[in-house]
Structure formats: C-alpha cells, structure tokens
Amino acid sequence: MKNFLKIGLCLISATILILSNREVQADQQYLKLNPQDHVVFIGNTFAERMQNAGYFETLLHSRFPDKQLVVRNLGWSADELTLRPRSKDFQDHGHNLEDHKADVIIACFGFNESFAGKKGLAKFEADLNKFIDTTLQAKYNGKTNPRLVLFSPIANENLNRHGLTDCKENNKRIELYTAAMQKIANEKNVLFVDLFTPSNKLMNNGKHPLTFNGIHLTDYGYQQLAPAIDVALFGPRIKSGSTVDIKKLRAEVLEKNLQFWYDYRAVNGYYIYGGRKAPFGVVNFPAEFAKLRKMIQNRDQRIWAVAQGKTVPTKIDDSQTGDFVDIKTNVKDLSSIKITSPQESQNKFELPPGFEINLFASEVEFPELQNPVQFAFDNKGRLWVCTMESYPQYLPGKNVDDKVLIFEDTNGDGRADKQTIFANGLHLPTGIELGDGGAYVAQQPNIVFLKDTDGDDHADYKEIVLHGFDSADSHHSISAFTWGPGGDLYFQEGTFHHSQVETPYGPRRLKNAGIFRYEPRTEKFDIFVSYSYANPWGHVFDRWGQNFVADASGGANYYGTAYSGDLDYPRKHAGMKQFLKKQWRPTAGCEFVSSRQFPDEMQGNYLLNNCIGFHGVLQYKMKEDGSGFAADPVEPLVKSTDTNFRPVDLQFGPDGALYLIDWFNPLVGHMQHSIRDPNRDAQHGRIWRVTYNKKPLLKSPDLAKASIPELLDLLKTYEDRVRYRVRRELRIRNTEKVISAVNKWVAALDTKDQDYQHNLLEALWVHQNLDVVDTVFLKKMLRSPEPKARAAATRVLCYWRDRVNNSLDLLQVQVNDDNPRVRLEAIRALSFYHDPKALEIAVESLIHPQDYYLEYTLKETMDTLEKRMEAE
Amino acid sequence: MRIPVSYISTLLLSGIALFFCHGSVESTFAQSQSSSVAPLMKLLKSGRIPAQRQGTIIELICRKGNQDDLGYIWEQIITDKLKGEMKEKSLLSLKESFQNRKIVPAGSLNGIAALIDQKPPLNQTAVELAGLWKVPSAAEQLQELALSKTTNNKLRIAAIDALVSIGGPESIKAMQELTRDHSPNEIRYLGAAALVSLDLNQAIDAGLKILTSNESGDPTPLIAAILDKQGAADQFASAINSQKISEDVAKKLLRYMYSVGRSDKSLSDALSKAAGMAGAEKKLTESEFKQLVVDVISKGDPERGEKIFRRSDLSCMKCHAVSKAGGEVGPDLSPIGASSPVDYLLRSILYPNQAVKEAYQTYMIITSEGTIVRGIIVDRNEERIILKDANGKQIVIPVDDIDDEAEGGSLMPQGLTKFLTRDELVDIVKYLSVLGKPGSYAVRSKPTIQRWLLMKNIPELILSNEHPDEELFEEHVLRASGTEWTPQYAMAAGLLPFEELNSLATNSKLLLQAEINVTESGSVGFRINSAADTKIWIDAHALESKLENQFPLEKGLHKLTLLVDLENRNDRGIQAEFFKPADSKASFTVVGGK
C-alpha cells in the first residue's frame, strides 16, 4: 500500500479506454460545460481529498482545454447536507458559493448521513430534496441557476486488517442511501453519478487496495476512480491526438489546489475573519488574501495553458499580485526585546541544589532548530522534534518549510552532535508522536503519517490519516500527542474550534475544545474528553494508567478518568474541580518524575512547564484523594529569569535526564500583537537537559535491536518512559510472536515479586496494544488483588466492550468494588453503553461511600445514558 | 420566548441557512410522565443504601426527578424520616432542583411553616423555599421575620426576597413599612430594593428619600436591585436627573455600577453629572491614543501607578490579584507587563470589550422575569446556566427562564477611566506595564506574605492582656468568625503600607494574620522587616518579638498572627516572608487569593 504514489501517471489514458460506458449509470444524460464555467465541489472528506489527488480535475482540463474552467474544491471533512459546523464568522471569509460564482456544483454527500441507517433515511431524503430545490433556485453566479451533480458515496473496502471493520454493514447502508439519492435525482431531473458501483468493482477486482482505512481513497485509489467519474459525467472519450502532458498538467492543478487550500483552510481564521480580527488582523490580512487570490488566478491560467499544450515558465510569476502591508511592531520599548545567547540563557537558570541543566541543542549548532514545539524519543534513543519556522502561519508566496528533526548524542556527552532532517516542507506541525514505524504529525487541519521506507531517515511516504481538525486558531490546534498505555494515540485542541472527523465507524465531532483518542490499528477514533477548556496542552499517564490533563491558557489541571466518560455531540462535560491549585499560567506540557537518575523523594511528582511570568518547571507532590488525586506545590525544579525562555514540552529521556524544549521567543501572545509583528522570533530554539549530579545516568536500552523476550523483560523497568517506548516497539513486531512470547513471559513471572501485579498489567496492555482480546486474562486482571490493576483493567474492558461477552455483568462487579477508583472506572465505562441496564448498574455505586469524583462521574454517566434513553 | 443566540457561526453556504441545534433539544424532563430517575427511586426505596449515605442519592433524585419523586423526598422531610444533616441536605437539594428546573414537589407544601420555625440553618433554607415555591400560607410568618428587629440580616434578606416572590398587596405593604424613616438606613435600603420588582415607582421614590437623607449610608442593595431589573436603570436615571443627589452619593452609585461591569448609558450619564464628573466620554482619536502610549513610556511612574491601582474607588483588586493576592474574578496581573505591550494594556482599560481572553468572556442573560444577569459562564447544561458575577458570586439560571442571552464582552468595567485624571491613567498603565518584568516588579520569587487578614474589632481581652494564654488566643483570634476579618493586600514587592491601614486600627493597634499551607512537615522560618512593638504568634504559640523566628510545622494549614502597635512606629509598613531554613525538609506555600 505504501508505494502506490510511485505508480506512474502514464496509466491514466490507458485506463480511460478500458472502462466502458457499461459502468455509467447516467444513461445518455451528460454534464454540459460552458467556457469559463466555475465548477465547485462541495461535500465530505471524499471531496476534500480529491484536491490532494487532482486526477479527476486533471482529466477535466485535458478534456476541455479551451473552456478555461475554474475549479474550486470546497469539500470539508465529514460535512453533511445539513450539518457543516465552521468556526465563528467563516461565512465572511469569501468562500460561499456566491463568492465563487458557482455555475456547476458537484455535491458529495451521503456517506456520513448513511450511518443513521434505515432510521435516518426519511430525514436524509427530505434534506436532499430541500437541498436540491434550494440549490437549483439560487443564482450563485448572479445570472443563472447552477447545474447540479450529485455524487454517491464510494463503497467501503474490506482491507482484511486485524481489528478493522470489514465494512459490510457500512456498504449495506451506503447502498441504501445511494439508491435513495438515485431515486430523488431522477425525480428532480438532476445528474447523478453512482460511485458506489464502480468503486466496489475496483475494490473487488484490483490487486492493490484503494483505501488505507477502508473508507478514504489513497492517491492510487483516486487515480483508479478518476476515469470512471470522467466517463460518467461526460461520456466515453474519443481517442484524440491530444498531446497534453498529463503529468505536468496535474502538477499545475496540485499547485493551484495547494494555494487555494492556504486560502480556504487558512489557519488562524479567528484572527482573519473571526472574533479576534480587530485590532490587528484587519490591518495585515486583507492585503495577504488579495495577493493569495491573485496568485490562485495566476495558477488557473497556467493550468489552461498547459492543458492547451503550451509551455509555461518553470518559475511562477507572481510579481503582479500586490504587496503586503508593512506591519510595525507594537512593542514600544524595544530594549525589552533582547535575544539571549544559549550561554546567557544558561546563566539565568536556577535549580535546587544537586541539579544541573545543560544545553542539548540550539540554533547555534543546528540552525534548523527554529521554534521547536513537541518532541519524542525513538527506540534508538534519538530525540525527534518538530519545528515551526513558518509560525504563526503561511505568508502568501513564501514556501513553508517546517521540519521534523532527529537529534543524536553519539558520544554520550549529553549534547546533540548529529542532526538529520526527517521531514521538511511542513506547515505548523503543532504535535508529533512516533509509532507504527513512522511519525504521526499534526498538519492542521489534518494529521499525517510520515514514514521512511528505505532506511535513509528521511520520510518518503506520507498519508493524511485524519482530516477535519479545525484550525481557527493555530495555537489552539491539535497538540500534546501522547500514547496511552493501550496503544491509543491522544491529542488535544482548544476552544473556538469546530472539528469533525470521518471514521469507518461514523463521523465524530467536537466543538470548543477537547481531547481525541485514536486507535491506529482499528481506525477507531473518538472524542476522549469533551470539555470547555481554553486550550489544553499537556497530557500524561501515570504508572497505573491514570491520566492527567493540563489546560494551558488558564493553568488548570484535571484528573482525567473522572471526565472522560462518553457523551454525545454536542454535549460537554460539566465543570470539574482541578486536582491542584493553580500557581501560574499559561502552562505547556506535563510529566511525572519516574527516573532513578532523580532523587528518591521526587519520584511520582507532577512537573508542569510555565511560560509567562514564571519561566520554568513547576513541581507538585501527588497524593491520593479518594477515588481521585490531589497535589500540593513543592519547590519548582527549573526557574529562569530569561523571559525569552518558553518551555513548551518536557519528557524524561532514555538516560534518565529530563529534557525540555524551549520555543524561545520574546513575544508569545496571539492576541496582544499582530500575527505579523516583526518581533515574533522564528530563528531560535533550544533543547535543555536536566540531570541530578548525585546519582548516575541510566543506561539507555537499544529497543530497536532488542529481541521480543528482551523487550518483554524491559517492561519490568522502573521508568515509565522506558515501558512507554517498549510498548511502542512491541506494536511493530509480529503480533503472533509477541502474543505467544508475552503469554510465556506471564507464566514465568515471579508471583512473589512486589511488582507482580504491575507486570501482569503490562502484559494486558501489550494485548491491548496489539488489539488481541484475551477475555480470560482480562477477567483475571479485573479481580487482581491490586486495586490499581483492577482500575486499569476496567479501562481496558471499556475499550474491549464490543468484543467481550457479558461485559455489563463484569462492570457490575467493578461498580461494587471495595476500592473507589475501581468503582470510578466502572461508572465511567458504563457511559459508553446504549443499554438501560447500564444506568441501573451505575446507580448501584451509590450503595458505597461517595466522594467528589464518584459523584461527578456518576452524574455525567447518568446524563449520557438518560439522554440516550430519551432519544430511543 | 427564548431566543437562542447561536455562538457557533452558522455557515451560509449556497444561501441555505444551516442551523445547528446545539443541545437545545426541547427538553420535557420537568413534566415528563415516566421518571428518568426510576432506577434511583427503586434503589432508595429498597433500603439498600445506609441512612448516612442517602445524601447523594437524594441529591441525584432531586436533580432529575419529576414532581412525584420530589414529593416523596418532601414527605420524608416533613414526616421526620430524614433527620439532622440529611434533612438539611435534602432540603437544599429541593431548593437546587427549583433553582435549576423550577420544579415543585407534588402534594401540600404547608409543612414549610413548621420548618420556618426551626433553628438555623434549616429555617434559612425553609424561608428561601417558601419564596421559591410561592407558598402563600407562609406569608404572615415571613412578614414577621422581615419586620422584626431581632431577625439577623441574612434571614431578613431571605424573608424579604421570599415576600417579593410571593408578591401581593400584603407584601408591598410590608416592604413599605421597611422603608419608613424610623428604621436604620441599611434596612430601609433592603425594603426599597425589594420594592424594585414589586413596584418600581414606589421603589425609586423610597430610594431617593434615603439617598437624599443626611446619613445616606451604603446604597449597594438598592443600586444592585435597580441594575438587575430590566429597564429600571433608565427610569432611575430620569429620577436622578430631576432630583438632586449629593456628589458623594452619586459617586458611590457610579462606583458600584462600574465595579460590577455595568455602564448603562443613561444612568452612567445621570450619575456622572450628579457627581460633577465629565459627561459622555469621547473616544480618543488615533493620535491622542498614540500620544498616551508615548506618555506612558516616557512619563509614567509605576510607584504612583501602584497606589492608584490599589485605590478602593477603582475596585481593581476586587477582581484582580497581584502576586497571588487579590480578587480571583479576572486574571492575576503579576506577569502582565512581560507579555502585554503598552497599547494593549491601554486598550484593555479603555475598551475592555475589544479583546477578551477566552476564559473571561462574559455572558448577559435576561430572564423571563426581566432580571439581568451578567458574568462568566462557570458551567452550562441543558437545564441551567451558572454565571459568576463581578463579585465572584455564582448565579444559577434555569434555561427555561432565559428570555434572551448574548455575549457580553468583558466583566472589566467600561468607563473606569472617569475616576482617573489623564496623569493617573498614564501612571496606572505604566505600573501594569512593568509588572512581571525583571526588576523591582518581577514576579515574586520569595514566599512573601501578600495577602493578610485584618481583624476589624480586636477583642478587649487580647488588647489588654500582655500575654494572653493559648486557650484565650485560640478562642478569640484563631477561631474568630470569617466576618471579623477583611483581606489586606501587600504591594507587588511585598510591603503592606501602614498609611492604608491607619483608619482600620483599634486603639492604634493592628491584628494581622497570614496563612501558610504546609505540604511536607519540617522547620519553617519567618522573617519580618521590623519587630518593634510587635507580638508574633504561630498558631496559638507565641514567638519572640524578633526579626527572625524558626519553628517546626506539621502538614496542614497554619496561621501566623501579628499584633502591631502603630503608636511609635514610624516606618512605612510591614514586609514579611516565610522561608525554608537550611536542611529543612519542609515544603509549603503561602496562602493568597481574596
């Protein structure tokens, strides 16, 4: 599936001829195009992804080279006919159908709607009728009614991948909705293209998969389907002597689409057209977008020229597209802006006795280290970091080149001496996590999976795996990537955002902040916490799988179990107390001390970065508080008097030292200065390393080279971060071998070891990582003598509930457990059910002693279940 | 009618308006036939829940139950099946279910009479419920409570509120009685405030009589009631325009108005005129604004600015803390200068609604009864919204009661600058602009004591006794009730200035208290700038009157008390801090906040 990118484009014209018009459902009715027509796509992720593929659009221009068609793709992840949430005042941004003067509208709906099944069909039909009527009556081009084409959803593909749905049920529903669309289109005399049938055929006949997750076409998939669309819309191609260079034409199409993407899906919309456009955005952005829109028109012209067989200069001439407004800083006291050298910064740190801080890397030795945001260690012990020199956002005409860098300390002196550029050309990678043989990287509004397939440490495979995370405020966008112990990837976004993501299990939506949870193996994707955060930027799991969340803007910190029960969009969890009393704000990143390199008395402490006012790492001592936790402040670990020091991520490294990345910037506010304030710094960035000088460094295990049994033994390691990286490594080993080895490992564990129950829990998490459900083992852990293990096993049960028989009976036992945290996990888990029995079980928890979190979570679970019962 | 204001932008694609219904599914929970709390009722009636744990389940039943479910709980209360604390809790749950959902228990409510006669705190809740449920049979009892000289203030206010809720000519008569000039002014204001919702004309007449009397006192209840009532501010404004009130009273009213984030034009103009202050503010021109910015940088004096910031008529510290000490409605301003340029600070004061940090966006709600509530959303669900107002008070509004709602900008009052000369504005912005920058206004790094509590009336026993024993000290100082104390905030750099405290001294003496939260026990030190004429206690244990003391502290909250005689002290104030002695294992934080 990885190398299809490389399959030649020359196949296209051949494929066109192979497809006969037997595939075409539209009888003799074809779409008629006039010169200079504006063709606009609207609809869901199928439409949105078309712009990255560009195959159909290339065919369109090659078929009508003289018509000078203006093609605009307004597709939007998970859009439905009547549900298209956008951030505030998006309608003022200039991308309504009137703004684009649409003559032809190609509408791709029905897939997300189809998850409502038979029950939802009547509503869908009514909505579709209304949509057609309204559309056909409008005059978006100011003169005539538009021509409308309806595309059916494509078929879903059975990838025969362990854990992933075979899509059978999906396809039944899609067929049902496709038939309804066809019926209504006939009644209304609207052109309809059935994509279900040809895509289904391609999926069944092809040697290669067309999708990467069952529902979204890969580049190859779009390439295969494009001719079918072309023929369905315009009839069979007559062999012509066309000399169009399809490859060149597609390159021009993709370049136009890229610039249009920067416009349509501009990041920081809140500062361009939304709630915070004044007083700064209204000054700089109008000129920027005027220029960008002229650049897009330039690209239309190049497309037409190439389609007509003309040659165009390699370099695009954008000289006539206008100028930017000169933006002056609003920093009046320029002496306050002083870039400190790494050495000067070094001298401004204060740490408790016995601690040292040293520079691991900086822009001085590694000029590419600019505005680093998040980092992770790979299984060879190397540090990967994403950088954002293009921050706060793309400037029209200036290519973005944000990067993922790999740093290595090859001689063990605690400083990086080697840098590799894993990926470049990125735009605002606000988050990164490694896994599954590559890297998951935020590319608002998407998440891409990048992978090196040929061993040169440079990404040569790229797939957008998730779409639709809002980017209305780029510094509220998806961030703080972290794995849960079960192999689930978490990331967060802040308020103002309206996100919607298509999954093989239906669309998932979130408005105004929350945390996402993604299982790459099964493609399950859910809203993990829907909460009215300002801007969460920190998420960490403790040794026993309990999670904690830091909200950056207000400096709030929350205990995660209590408010991560299920609820239905657009509900949000009620306000919950914080587990510690805020000292400072804003924060960015949290971590538990779990390193034998650090003093014994610090173990388990909660560390929290703070970047305005107090510049450093705050420290809190954790304590049990009934079913939950509380924490008290103790002496901060790091404190700097350099106000440029902005620690934004922290993590213990394989050597047991604490690593910190420093965004390094004299200005940080989004609201306090123009987005284009010249004093925003994009040239600096540092990585610092904190060690304790009274204890030795830890030996960094080479996980990448370790055998499976060696890896399993490493699960007994004290350090949370070692076990974290071991689980991540085991995920990419052969599933059967790992499972067979882990079962042997469990059998051989020393039952008298004081960590025996924790070791067992690690084995259960390995099962969860590999998505291998072992009910017998799970049941054993649900009744472990260690309550912390019972609580963690209850969380596993929650995510296996669809594959464990009588899971409600098991939860009934947990709800009546002696230990309050086990009861809390059970009450949380019950919110995921649609069965009235879950409610009856949840209230049984009232027989037992109560505390704040138990009461809070019970209320939340009851609300979710009651709402579902009302809706039934 | 409820007008939902969608704060999601609705996308106008292709001219089709797409409306999102964000959770506003028409709820029918209140009157629904089948109860959604059936499993809870079953569990409660089964007797499986031990008596001492019934609080939570009753709360949950009251949260969602229908009239019959609540009727069952009510019956348990009035037939004494629920006792003691459980009874109080259940009554509070019934109150909450009315506040959130306007739901009243089924059956007779006359049992409330017996509860009103009970001891505190039961009677307080009962009085409130009698008002919420509008129980006419309780009116007579309530009038007695409202008018009786012996009723305590909290209960009196509740009784008045209840009567306002029940309404009717009898209630108006009782309120009129309260406003008569034989009562003390603080009670007269309560009466006039109550009349605002019963009969506005009478309320304004009565109110003006009090405001123009010799001892005008604190008009807060009256002005608060007027601001809360839709349309009342305008009517009050025209009354003020035609009747003279003193400059002092006008300033008091204006100050209150601004301190709760209100700047209604007509009333603000009328009061400004009466207060002899410049009328309508004119918006600064671009060049005037630029000149202000220049002046802040070149001429502003942060020391003067800090004094202005601390002035009580500006109410800055009512909402904002500096170095952790002060109000917690707005953000702590300690690091503000480090992250915000001068023009941003100036704009935030002059035009507070222009840029509002996400956590401080306010909401304005007009209820179906015409009450205006403004504050930051603490929480909202399908049933109710909780707003936190500028006083830090949380107000619950049932969604069914919402007539109109809108985003309301910032709680930061517009028009504050009226109380400032241009030079003062320049100084205050300068002060804010240096907060958090390296130097004397840097974010504090030492555990200095920033928030002190000052005892209003120091007990004679403490003043006269040279060495009060521990028991005496504990009873009269450590266990003294919250109302005996007022917070006093040190300046950013830690000094608590005497000049602001002189008027609060009892026989030239100040009793000040600081709190420290110890998280790891061990030795803790205390250091003060001068121990002259000063007695020092840690908890009930007297320390030596010297500059530095060390003492062991266990985990938990501890109080450090100072008794300072100002008679012979000529220094500027107190500056004190806790510290961690060398080799101490202790870990602690100094308590700040409001």
Q: Phi/psi at A519 (nearest 5 deg)?
A: -105, 100
Domains and CATH numbers, chain A: 26-259 (3.40.50.1110), 350-692 (2.120.10.30), 716-871 (1.25.10.10)
Contact residues, chain B, for A844 at CB < 8 Å: 43
| pLDDT band (50, 70, 90) for residue B482 | low
Same-domain status, B476 and B583 = yes
Over residues A743-750, the mean pLDDT reads 98
A138 and B14 within 8 Å at the Cβ level: the answer is yes
CATH number at residue B344: 1.10.760.10
Is B483 a member of any domain?
yes
Determine the pLDDT at residue A136.
Answer: 97
A86 and B9 within 8 Å at the Cβ level: the answer is yes
Q: Is residue B12 over pLDDT 70?
A: no
Determine the pLDDT at residue A112.
Answer: 98
| pLDDT band (50, 70, 90) for residue A620 | very high
Over residues A336-348, the mean pLDDT reads 94
Is B419 a member of any domain?
yes
CA separation for the pair A435, A704 (Å, rounded): 12
**Pick the residue with more confidence: A457 or B119?**
A457
Give the range of the structural domain holding residue B333, as residue numbers without chain letter. 286-356+414-434
Same-domain status, B584 and B474 = yes
B43 vs A496, A612, A846: nearest CB: A846
Q: Is residue A732 over pLDDT 60?
A: yes
Whether A399 and chain B come into contact, CB under 8 Å, resolves to: no
Least confident of A427-441, B307-321, B551-565: B307-321
CA separation for the pair A29, A151 (Å, rounded): 14
pLDDT digits 0-9 by tens, B229-269: 989 999 999 999 988 888 888 888 988 888 787 888 899 88
Please state, rounded to an integer, the average pLDDT across all residues of chain B: 85
Q: Where are the alpha helices (DSSP H) in A308-461?
A: 342-346
Determine the pLDDT at residue B244.
Answer: 84
* CA-based nearest distance A34→chain B, Å: 21
Determine the pLDDT at residue B280.
Answer: 53
Over residues A533-539, the mean pLDDT reads 95
Contact residues, chain A, for B43 at CB < 8 Å: 843-844, 846-847
What's the structural domain count of chain B?
A: 2
Same-domain status, B494 and B555 = yes
| pLDDT band (50, 70, 90) for residue B279 | low
Is B394 a member of any domain?
no
Over residues B523-533, the mean pLDDT reads 94
**Residue A29: strand, helix, or coil:** coil
| pLDDT band (50, 70, 90) for residue A400 | very high
Whether B64 and chain A come into contact, CB under 8 Å, resolves to: yes
Over residues B435-453, the mean pLDDT reads 86
When mean pLDDT is compared over A772-776, B77-81, B150-154, the highest value belongs to A772-776
pLDDT digits 0-9 by tens, A577-615: 999 988 888 999 999 999 999 999 999 999 999 998 899
Least confident of A504-508, B33-37, B73-77, B499-503: B33-37
Is B514 a member of any domain?
yes
Domain boundary among B380, B404, B434: B434
Give me the percent of chain B exceeding a pLDDT of 70: 93
Over residues A753-774, the mean pLDDT reads 98
Over residues B466-481, the mean pLDDT reads 84
CA separation for the pair A552, B357 (Å, rounded): 13
Q: Is residue B16 over pLDDT 80?
A: no
Q: Is residue B6 over pLDDT 60?
A: no
Nearest CA in chain A to B332: A584
Over residues A697-721, the mean pLDDT reads 97
Least confident of A808-817, A823-832, A852-861, B284-293: B284-293
Same-domain status, B423 and B462 = no
Determine the pLDDT at residue A43.
Answer: 98
Contact residues, chain B, for A583 at CB < 8 Å: 324, 589
Please state, rounded to an integer, the average pLDDT across all residues of chain A: 94
| pLDDT band (50, 70, 90) for residue A456 | very high
Same-domain status, B512 and B423 = no
Q: Pseudo-torsion of CA A403, A409, A415, A420, nearest 10°?
A: -20
CA separation for the pair A670, A328 (Å, rounded): 16
Determine the pLDDT at residue B24.
Answer: 35
CATH number at residue B489: 2.60.120
Same-domain status, B345 and B485 = no
Contact residues, chain A, for B556 at CB < 8 Å: none
* CA-based nearest distance A301→chain B, Å: 26
Nearest CA in chain B to A840: B39
Q: Name every residue whose Cβ is closer than 8 Å to that of residue A251 and which is 6 or more positions away in sequence.
A: none
**At residue A310, what is the residue type?**
K
Determine the pLDDT at residue B33.
Answer: 46
Same-domain status, B419 and B519 = no
pLDDT digits 0-9 by tens, A655-686: 999 999 999 999 887 788 999 999 999 999 99
Same-domain status, B418 and B505 = no
B293 vs A332, A534, A575: nearest CB: A332
**Pick the residue with more confidence: B372 or B552?**
B552
Q: What is the pTM of this model?
A: 0.84
| pLDDT band (50, 70, 90) for residue B2 | very low
A525: its two tokens: 């994707």
**How far apart, in Å, do the first and last CA atoms of chain A sit?**
41
Please report the residues numbered 646 through 685 in chain A whose beta carbons come closer than 8 angstroms to any beta carbon of chain B.
Answer: 668-669, 671-673
Least confident of A215-229, A483-497, A550-564, B248-262: B248-262
ipTM (interface pTM): 0.81
* CA-based nearest distance A407→chain B, Å: 31
Determine the pLDDT at residue A582.
Answer: 86
* CA-based nearest distance B14→chain A, Å: 5
Q: Is residue A15 over pLDDT 60?
A: no
Nearest CA in chain A to B334: A613
Determine the pLDDT at residue B59.
Answer: 93
Q: Are strands A147-151 and A191-193 parallel, antiparallel or unpaired?
A: parallel
Q: Is residue A321 over pLDDT 70?
A: yes
Q: Is residue A834 over pLDDT 50?
A: yes
Determine the pLDDT at residue B352.
Answer: 82
Of B519, B523, B592, whose CA–CA distance to A634 is shortest?
Answer: B519
Q: Are strands A38-43 and A70-73 parallel, antiparallel or unpaired?
A: parallel
Is B28 a member of any domain?
no
B13 and A84 within 8 Å at the Cβ level: the answer is yes
Contact residues, chain A, for B294 at CB < 8 Å: 332
Same-domain status, B550 and B520 = yes
Over residues B39-50, the mean pLDDT reads 93
Same-domain status, B554 and B472 = yes
B49 and A846 within 8 Å at the Cβ level: the answer is yes
Over residues B105-127, the mean pLDDT reads 93
Of A265, A233, A221, A235, whose CA–CA distance to A46 is shortest?
Answer: A221
Is B40 a member of any domain?
no
Same-domain status, B492 and B585 = yes
**At residue A837, what is the residue type?**
K
Over residues A765-776, the mean pLDDT reads 98
A87 vs B9, B357, B377: nearest CB: B9
Give me the percent of chain A exceeding a pLDDT of 90: 91
Q: Is residue B41 over pLDDT 60?
A: yes
Nearest CA in chain A to B407: A275
Is B479 a member of any domain?
yes
Determine the pLDDT at residue B281.
Answer: 60
Determine the pLDDT at residue B371.
Answer: 83
Residue A798 contacts residue A829 (beta carbons within 8 Å): yes
pLDDT digits 0-9 by tens, A274-291: 988 988 999 999 999 999
Over residues A22-47, the mean pLDDT reads 83
| pLDDT band (50, 70, 90) for residue B30 | very low
Please report the residues numbered 569 through 588 in chain B whose beta carbons come closer than 8 angstroms to any beta carbon of chain A.
Answer: 587
**At CA A633, angle to CA A628 and CA A639, rounded to 5?**
135
pLDDT digits 0-9 by tens, A129-157: 999 999 999 999 999 999 999 999 999 99
Whether A612 and chain B come into contact, CB under 8 Å, resolves to: yes
> For tokens 């965004």, what's the residue?
A663
Contact residues, chain A, for B57 at CB < 8 Å: 843, 846
**Residue B515: strand, helix, or coil:** strand
Whether A73 and chain B come into contact, CB under 8 Å, resolves to: no
Contact residues, chain A, for B56 at CB < 8 Å: 846, 850, 855, 858
**Pick the residue with more confidence: B416 or B56?**
B56
Please report the residues numbered 520 through 559 in chain A whose beta carbons come closer than 8 angstroms to any beta carbon of chain B.
Answer: 532, 534-535, 553-554
Burial of B312 from C-beta contacts in 10 A (0-12 / 13-18 / 19+)? exposed
Residue B559 contacts residue B513 (beta carbons within 8 Å): yes
Please report the residues numbered 303 through 332 in chain B whose beta carbons come closer than 8 angstroms to any beta carbon of chain A.
Answer: 324, 331-332
pLDDT digits 0-9 by tens, A180-208: 999 999 999 999 999 999 999 999 998 89
Nearest CA in chain A to B337: A613
Nearest CA in chain A to B351: A279
B53 and A849 within 8 Å at the Cβ level: the answer is yes
Is B456 a member of any domain?
yes
Whether A496 and chain B come into contact, CB under 8 Å, resolves to: yes
Range A464-499 burial, b when 16+ CB lie within 10 A, else e: bbbbbbbbbbbbbbbbbbbbbbbbbbbbbbbbbbbb
* CA-based nearest distance A446→chain B, Å: 21
Q: Is residue B121 over pLDDT 90?
A: no
Q: Is residue B215 over pLDDT 90?
A: no
Determine the pLDDT at residue B483.
Answer: 67
Over residues A71-81, the mean pLDDT reads 98
Please report the residues numbered 192 through 231 in chain B whose beta carbons come closer than 8 angstroms to any beta carbon of chain A.
Answer: none
Same-domain status, B429 and B292 = yes
